[in-house]
Structure 1
Amino acid sequence: MSLFRCLAFCVLFVLGTLHDCRAAGRYFVVEYPASTETRGLQMGVTYTLWVPDDVKTLRGVIVHQHGCGTGACQGGETAAYDFHWQALAKKWDCALLGPSYHQAEQQNCRLWCDPRNGSAATFLKSLEDFADQAQRPELRRVPWCIWGHSGGGFWGSLMQTVYPERIVALWHRSGGAINAWAKDEIPRPEFPAEAFRIPTMCNPGLKERDDPRMVGAWTAGTGLFHLYRTQGAPIGFAADPRSSHECADSRYLAIPFFDACLEQRLPEPGSDSQTLRPVDPQQAWLSTLSGSKPVPAAEFKGLENESVWLPNGRFAALWEEYIRVGSVSDSTPPPAPSAVRIRKNEDGAVELTWEAEADFESGIRCFLIRKNGSLLAQYPEKPVGRYGRPLFQSMSYHDTPEKPLLPLKYVDQNAQPGADAVYEVVTVNSVGLESAPAKP
């Protein structure tokens, strides 16, 4: 590793630890300056990788790719710190990767969102460097799930044609490159047969359809869907009925989609092979594009190459709810906090810290702090939900945690000197269900 990247890693790793994001895992960062080579990436980029603890061998990487513009790039800085996406990664022994391109206002987004302009090579280089930093050599060869918003969907739809054998599944939130290559704005990609085997979901906001500024995101989603479905590809379409270009509550469908695809496609644990398994046609459900009730594929009466493909019945039920209301429900409580610790400060205040794992279905809204059986505080007092449900990690336009990231820490300033109180911490998920209490 170069001295520049080593220094960048050290500085950014320290900054990351200041966030005090006590999910059970470690963070690694690499940063690359803009390339001076003609075909290299013409802007700098920072990649942050989260690796869960207690994983012997990583089986994949979840890539959470932001969209175009300086705001989106800044939003990408916190993607790897997201507790909810970490829960997906941990379940499948995967790492979580958040890129953040250093795009200036005047720079053309396609300098990075077309991976053939150097971003694909830089992405692969980051995995090489992370393999060394984290002492995880498997990062050089494990497959990827790619979630992309806007320009990130553009990037993912082209990565699909270049590295199809490495991609478990794709989620295109309001983005795709098909309009650009149809207008000869970029070179038309070649489509290897493997590209039509990748399970994919196109997820535009319904309000984009009638918005002159955003209609391109809608037509990119519909265009990709029709192109790939006519080739027999396992691709679905899930219009968000409540949103425009913002990501809203799409994560509550995207995470179970990747969950279903990882289950079907990852090689068996411990396998030396990295060859992805095909999706299981016996598990597929289908629906019409207009959103009729999905049914098992064997029972579908319409034209299969025009149907919405869904990976299994469990996901089909979530999809049916999502296209009606823009989110999905959850009836199970979240995991309890862990590793609760208590410390008395010199001024007599009591400091509580803990670790947390997000509810897989609905994330974390807040924590309840109880003292001697009574509610002491809700933390944060007023969770924020500008673009979706109120969450502990308030969600941005780009489906990433807003800054500043809250620490998993609460200080009781009114503790009685010399008194031993009994404290408990409770996790509340985004639909309001409470976990069992956890004590120090």
Structure 2
Amino acid sequence: MRTLLLLLAMAATTVAQDAPYDVMPSVESPYYRVRYEANTEEGKLIYPVSYTMWLPPGVDKLRGVIVHQHGCGVGSCRSGQTGAFDLHWQALAKQHDCALVSPVYEQPDMADCQKWCDPRNGSDEAFQAGLSDLAKLSGHPELTSVPWALWGHSGGGHWAGGMLLLHPDRVAAVWLRSGVPMMKEKEGRPKPYEVNEAACGVPTMCNLGTKEGFTVTDGRFSGVWPGVETFFTAMRNAGGLVGIAVDPLTSHECGNQRYLAIVWLDACLTLRLPENSGEPLRPIAANSGWLTPRYEPGETPAEPVNVSKFSQEVANSIWLPTKKIATAWQQYVKDTNIDDTTPPPAPSRLRVEGNVLTWDAEADLESGLAKFEIERDGKVIGQVPAKLKNPFGRPIFQGLQYSDTPAQPLVEMRFIDESAEPSKLYSYRVIAENTVGLKSK
């Protein structure tokens, strides 16, 4: 029997102390969390799982759910603990009045990932039960019926793609990073998925690192590209709205993919979400969008063109939803440096207590947040964070883990003015900067 838990601020988690999943950030509104124990019944989820949800403050009625799904292994599973706290993904959710949900499947070390990343093994049922219970906790009953936008990394890509093929009428768009659902027979695994007509109408992007079998054909992750190619070919031959975006810099780590993934999802949600919550998803015409021929390792990708101007074989083309995304895609597959001319929102609610400054801020939808610059009496006296670093891509304010989630402990919007004198009055300003160097007001 499932145990439902709402964890409030400063409350301890209920995971056993010797388990590797005992460092979840505590939650209070607009965050909510449910957790379920492992289930030993046939066909049920055999691992404990938690779902953390963020809601845009003040949202009246939700229009959808954005799911950020981690991959396989203890490290990747633990990375899901901070997914709902990601300011950049929250900006996307807020843009479309969506909830942001980050699952954490508590997979033990060396355990079988397929037992959760194949949704037919109980994680589909657990996910929908989680949405139902989160609906009760948050007072948003529409969570049980609104569409899903699914992002998944590695095994999370397997899960997201599987959910697409199982529930195509519920899925608005899918981004598959370094993982796709199984389309070929494999010993000891469930029956492969089959393409269906409804799934072909869902915008889908297959994204992988070039070192995952595309240009580097040996090593641990060299099998990713053959799997992606099989899935893409099956979907595209059936008329699927599917694209491929090869990251030219990475292997299995997520790198800078979020700078294309988030704007791609933004475009797809704009096209597909109904104006009013509860109405059906809007279809995308098969003869719309932008196309470019599928390219091979070593080839320079061709410039995408409108569908009406594409003269080559459509089944062997990459589909992109809009002209803006076609441009961003071309920049991403070259060097991941996607242009952005929009500065981030200005910080708000600056508070000063003694020599301690705190503030609120939202991320730039296109380029996220890199840092905050602190001014005193018109002169820069510091920045937060003091040192920028990110081993997997552009330096980012919250840090970035292998699976595209903020580092722990979560960084605070807080600065201590060490040189402030108690007897003096000062004028402070905080300025946000995104990851392409544009500054806010």
Q: Give the TM interval when normalised to the shorter protein.
A: over 0.9
| Alignment counterpart, residue 333 of structure 1, candidates 343, 351, 354 | 343
SS in structure 2 opposite 1:207? coil
1:359-438 correspondence to structure 2 within 5 Å:
359-436=364-441
> After superposition, what is the alpha-carbon deviation per residue over 1:258-301, rounded to whole angstroms, capped at 9, x for unaligned?
11110111111x3542x111124564000001121100000001
| Alignment counterpart, residue 266 of structure 1, candidates 273, 277, 280 | 273
> After superposition, what is the alpha-carbon deviation per residue over 1:208-261, rounded to whole angstroms, capped at 9, x for unaligned?
111332122111211111110000010001111111111000000000111111
Q: Which residue in 1 is equivalent to 2:131? A: 127
| Alignment counterpart, residue 294 of structure 2, candidates 272, 281, 289 | 289
Q: Say whether the 8 Å CA contact 2:172–2:203 is kept in structure 1.
A: yes
The reply to whether residue 298 of structure 1 matches residue 308 of structure 2 is: yes
| TM-score, normalised relative to structure 2 | 0.92
The reply to whether residue 312 of structure 1 matches residue 361 of structure 2 is: no
Q: Say whether the 8 Å CA contact 1:55–1:93 is kept in structure 2.
A: yes
Q: Say whether the 8 Å CA contact 1:250–1:327 is kept in structure 2.
A: no
Alignment root-mean-square deviation, CA: 2.0
C-alpha deviation, 1:190, in angstroms: 4.2
One-letter amino acid matched to 1:372: D
- Structure 2 CA distance for aligned equivalents of residues 128 and 88 of structure 1: 22
One-letter amino acid matched to 1:286: L
- Structure 1 CA distance for aligned equivalents of residues 75 and 311 of structure 2: 45
| Alignment counterpart, residue 157 of structure 2, candidates 150, 153, 156 | 153
Gaps of 5+ in 1: 345-349
Q: Say whether the 8 Å CA contact 1:246–1:387 is kept in structure 2.
A: yes
- Structure 1 CA distance for aligned equivalents of residues 342 and 197 of structure 2: 41
- Structure 2 CA distance for aligned equivalents of residues 358 and 13 of structure 1: 28
Relative to total residues, which structure has the larger helix share, 1 or 2?
1
Deviating more after overlay: 326-335 vs 88-97: 326-335
Q: Which residue in 2 is equivalent to 1:236? A: 243
Indicate how the Cα distance of structure 1 residues 281 and 403 shifts in structure 2: closer, same or farther if over 3 A, else same: same
One-letter amino acid matched to 2:437: G
Q: Which residue in 2 is equivalent to 1:27? A: 31
C-alpha deviation, 1:141, in angstroms: 0.4
C-alpha deviation, 1:66, in angstroms: 0.5
Q: Which residue in 1 is equivalent to 2:17? A: none
Give the percent of matched residue pairs that are identical in Structure 1 and Structure 2. Answer: 43
Indicate how the Cα distance of structure 1 residues 219 and 196 shifts in structure 2: closer, same or farther if over 3 A, else same: same
> After superposition, what is the alpha-carbon deviation per residue over 1:366-415, rounded to whole angstroms, capped at 9, x for unaligned?
10111011111111111111100001111111011111111111122322
- Structure 2 CA distance for aligned equivalents of residues 18 and 352 of structure 1: 23
The reply to whether residue 138 of structure 1 matches residue 145 of structure 2 is: no
C-alpha deviation, 1:19, in angstroms: 8.8
Q: Say whether the 8 Å CA contact 2:53–2:100 is kept in structure 1.
A: yes
| TM-score, normalised relative to structure 1 | 0.92
Deviating more after overlay: 392-401 vs 207-216: 207-216
Q: Which residue in 2 is equivalent to 1:227? A: 234
One-letter amino acid matched to 2:436: V
One-letter amino acid matched to 2:319: W
- Structure 2 CA distance for aligned equivalents of residues 180 and 30 of structure 1: 35
Q: Say whether the 8 Å CA contact 1:202–1:222 is kept in structure 2.
A: no
- Structure 2 CA distance for aligned equivalents of residues 16 and 177 of structure 1: 29
Q: Which residue in 2 is equivalent to 1:113? A: 117
Q: Which residue in 2 is equivalent to 1:248? A: 255
- Structure 2 CA distance for aligned equivalents of residues 380 and 182 of structure 1: 47
SS in structure 2 opposite 1:385? coil
C-alpha deviation, 1:180, in angstroms: 5.4
One-letter amino acid matched to 1:207: K
SS in structure 1 opposite 2:62? coil
- Structure 1 CA distance for aligned equivalents of residues 211 and 316 of structure 2: 23
Q: Say whether the 8 Å CA contact 2:343–2:439 is kept in structure 1.
A: yes
One-letter amino acid matched to 2:382: A
C-alpha deviation, 1:183, in angstroms: 5.9
- Structure 2 CA distance for aligned equivalents of residues 399 and 431 of structure 1: 18
Indicate how the Cα distance of structure 1 residues 12 and 156 shifts in structure 2: closer, same or farther if over 3 A, else same: farther
1:87-106 correspondence to structure 2 within 5 Å:
87-106=91-110
Q: Say whether the 8 Å CA contact 1:19–1:405 is kept in structure 2.
A: no
One-letter amino acid matched to 2:95: K
- Structure 1 CA distance for aligned equivalents of residues 145 and 436 of structure 2: 38
Gaps of 5+ in 2: 15-22, 296-300
SS in structure 1 opposite 2:208? coil
C-alpha deviation, 1:32, in angstroms: 0.8
- Structure 1 CA distance for aligned equivalents of residues 381 and 322 of structure 2: 43
Q: Which residue in 2 is equivalent to 1:347? A: none
One-letter amino acid matched to 1:351: V
| Alignment counterpart, residue 69 of structure 1, candidates 52, 68, 73 | 73
SS in structure 2 opposite 1:154? helix
- Structure 1 CA distance for aligned equivalents of residues 331 and 168 of structure 2: 30
One-letter amino acid matched to 2:231: L
